[in-house]
Structure 1
C-alpha cells in the first residue's frame, strides 16, 4: 500500500474561518456557543448553537452565483479553497492527465437542509401553485458539494459523497485515504460541511431529546463527560484536508502536516439513535483502525473522543476506550466542548485538530468538565484545564453517527524513515 500524507488544511468553524484562527482558539480553550441568530428561536426549547460568524460568501463566489449554492456547499468551497492554497499545488499549471489523478470525496449528514426547509415553506405559504427554484434539487442533494469542488478546479478523479450521519467526515477521509493508497488517485480533497442550524434541524434534534437546554449559559452547555451534561450543542461549518501520496508530495517539495496511518469502520447494530452501554461498535472501529495502522493500542498518545455531551453516548464511548486501551495512559480530549457538534462535518474539523495535535505535540483540553460522571470508568486521563504538550507519535480520532455508524482515524507524526 502507498503511504498517504496531509499537505493542506482548511476550516470554516464557530471558532474561526481559517485554520490558524481555529487552532489558536482550540488551544486557548474558547467556546463558540451563543444565541441562535439564523432564525427566531424564541419559542424553541433550545435557543443557542455554535454558529459560524462573519462568513462572506462573496470572497468565494460572484454575487449572482451565490444563489445556486446552499450554505453547506458554500462552506465546503471556502474550506477546500483554503486547503488547496495551503497545499501549495500550482492548480493553473496542471495538465488534464494530472487533474485526472485528483479527486474529491466530501461528506455531509444533512446536505442542503436549509434549502429544503425554505422551499417547502414557500410552497405551503403560497396559493398551491407548484413554483420551485430551479436550483432546488442541486442545492439540496448531499453529493453536490463534492461536485462543485470538482467543477471549480476541474478535478477529474474519483468524486462522490459519504453519508453516515455524524461519522460522515471520517468515513470520507478513510475512503479518500484508501483511494490513494490503492493507487486510484494521487491527491484527494476530502472533509465535510454542515449548515444545519435551521428550524427543522434544531426542532427535530430537540424533539429527540438530544440537545442541551442550558439557554442561560450557552458557553458552558457542551460539557462532555460531566455529571451535569444534558445533550449536545449544534454547530456548523466545514473542514477540508488535502491528502497526497507520499512520493508525489515529496517530489514537489510539499510541506507535510502528518501521515494517515489507518482507519476503521464498524456498526453498533443496536438502536436508531442510541449506543450500547459497552460501546461495542466504537470498540470494533477503534480496533480495526489499530489493525489497519499495524500498531498496538499503547502506541496511541491521545484520543479525540466523539463525546457529544449526551448522557448515554459519552459513557458508552468511555467504556469502549477503556476496553481498547486498558491500563495504557492514553490522553483523552473532547473538543466538541469548544466547537459544539458539527454533525456530518465533525470528523473533518476534528481531523484537522488531530493532525495539528500530532504535528505539534499539543493536546487540547476538554472545557466545561467540572465534575466527572460518577459512572465513568476509573483511571482515564481526560485532559482538562489547559492544553498540554506531550510527545506522541499517534493520535486517534473517533466519530459515531445515528444508525450505529462508527468511524475511527489514526494520524501519525510524519517521519520519512517511518515504516
Structure 2
C-alpha cells in the first residue's frame, strides 16, 4: 500500500443546484430534478436533469464565460469551490506540485453542435475560431489548470460513465507516485443537447416518461424504463494525509481503495455475470486491505436501466453476502451525468460520511424483486458505519470502484 490519501475539498455543480450547500439538501429530499425542456421539443425524449439558474458570467467571469464550453464552465465552477473548501489559495501554492485529472465523456458538444450548424447554414467563414479549443475533450482539464495556475501533470480521462471515478483513481496514483502534492480531480459533462438526447434515445437507453418527467428516473424500481440524461461536475481535492496535516487542513474522508477493470464484453451492455464489476470491487477492497464485510454503505451506479440495475444488483448482492447494507443511487434525483456521474457520486459518498446521512433513492415505489438489496427510499437514513463503496460503470465495459472511509 502507498501513502494514505485524504479528501480535503469538495465542489459540485448538479441539477440540484450550484454548490454543495444547494445540492446536498435537495439530494436528501429524494425528489427528482427532472423536467421537460423546451430545447428538446419534438424529440422522442423531451426531459432531462438540467443545472438550474447557472449564469456563466457570474460563475466564471464575463471575460472567460464566452470562451468556455458549458462543461468547462461547470468544471471551473466546481473546482474553485473545492479549492476554497480545502483552504487552498492558488495565489500562494506551489503550482508545479498541483495536478489536474479530469474525467469527461463527450467534450464540448454544446459548442460542436452550434458551430456545426453554423458551418452548414452560414458557411466555413462563419465558424468561430474558438470552435476547436472550446470543444476538444482535453480542454476542461487544460482550462482548469489555467484558471487555478496548476502546473503539474494535467490529464484527461475518458471511460464513458465511469470517467469521473476513473479520474479520481488516477489522481490518487499520482499522489502515491510522488508526482504531485495536491490533485484536483473528478469529472464534468454537458451532453444535455438535442443531438445527444436523440442518439441516446435511438440507443434505447433513455426513459420515455415524457408526460411524467419527475417520475422517470427510478433506479432499482420494478417499473424503470431507462435513465434520464443529466449534466454537471464534481471535483475533489486530494492530498496525502501527511501533506494535509502539515498545513493543518481538515480531512473530510480518506480514499482508501480504488479498483479499475474492463468487462471486455460489449460496447453498451454490461456483462450479465458482472465479472468485471465484481473484479473492480475486489481490487478496491484489496487495495484498502478490507473485506466486503467492512462495507457499511454503497453509493451505487444505479442508472435506472433494466440491464444495468439488474447486473449491478447481482454483483452487490453477492458482495454483501446477505447483509442488509444500505444502497442508494443519486441518479434518481440527479439523472445520469455520464462522465461526471462517478465524481458527483464520489462526492456524495464523502458527504454521507461527513454528515452521517444516506440520501434516499428517488421514485422507488416497488423495488424490483430480482434486486434483493436494502435500497434506501423515502427519507434519509443515518449512516452509522465508517466505510462507503462508490461504483461506476461505463459504456464499453469500463468499471471503477472507490472506497472512502471516515478520517
TM-score when normalising by structure 1 = 0.94
Partner of 2:70: 71
The 1-side partners of 2:81 and 2:124 are apart by 42
Runs of 4+ in structure 1 off by over 6 angstroms are: none
Q: Contact conserved, 1:35 with 1:218, CA < 8 A, in 2?
A: yes
User: Separation in 2 of the partners of 1:233 and 1:111?
Assistant: 19
Counterpart contact for 2:16–2:51, Cα < 8 Å = yes
Which residue pairs with 2:319 in the alignment?
A: 324
Q: CA deviation at 1:375?
A: 2.7
| Residues 397 and 408, structure 1, Cα contact 8 Å, conserved in 2 | yes
What is the match of residue 192 of structure 1?
187
For residue 110 of structure 1, what is the aligned residue in structure 2? 106
**What CA distance in whole angstroms lies between the structure 2 residues aligned with 1:129 and 1:140?**
17
Partner of residue 300, structure 1:
295
- Determine if contact 2:207/2:217 at 8 Å carries over to the other structure: yes
What does 1:284-363 correspond to in 2, within 5 Å? Answer: 284-363=279-358
Distance 1:92 1:120 in 2: 38
SS state at 2:258 partner: strand
1:10-58 C-alpha deviation (Å, 9 max, x unpaired): 1111001010111111112122111114x2x221111110000111111
CA contact (8 A) 1:7 1:87 kept: yes
Aligned to 1:369: 364
Q: CA RMSD in A?
A: 1.2
SS in structure 1 at match of 2:18: coil
**How many residue pairs align between the two structures?**
406
1:20 aligns with 2:21: yes
CA distance in 1, matches of 2:296, 2:287: 17
Of residues 382, 385, 390 in structure 2, which corresponds to 1:397? 390
Distance 2:75 2:369 in 1: 40
* Aligned pairs (5 A) from 1:16-415: 16-37=17-38, 39=39, 41-94=40-93, 98-126=94-122, 128-129=123-124, 131-376=126-371, 378=372, 380-414=373-407
**Structure 2 partner of 1:7:** 8
Q: 1: CA distance between counterparts of 2:58 and 2:244? A: 28
| Native 8 Å contact 1:2 1:182 kept in 2 | no
Please give the secondary structure, in 1, of the residue aligned with 2:17. coil
Give the distance between the partners of 2:383 and 2:140, measured in 1 at CA. Answer: 37
Measure, in 1, the Cα distance between the counterparts of 2:128 and 2:181: 38
Q: Are 1:107 and 1:142, in contact at CA under 8 Å, matched by a contact in 2?
A: no
> Matches of 1:261 and 1:323 in 2, distance apart?
22
Q: Deviations over 1:105-129 (max 9, x none)?
A: 0111111011111111111112x44
Question: Is the 8 Å Cα contact of residues 5 and 255 (structure 2) preserved in structure 1?
Answer: yes
Secondary structure class of the residue paired with 2:367: coil
**Which runs of 5 or more structure 1 residues have no equivalent in the other structure?**
415-419
d(CA) in 2 for partners of 1:117, 1:129:
14
CA distance in 2, matches of 1:129, 1:385: 53
Pair 1:61–1:359, CA change in 2 (3 A): closer
Any stretches of 5+ residues in structure 2 without a counterpart?
none
The corresponding residue for 1:417 is none
Give the whole-Å Cα distance in 2 for the aligned partners of 1:375 and 1:6.
35
Whether the 8 Å CA contact 1:2–1:183 is kept in 2: the answer is no
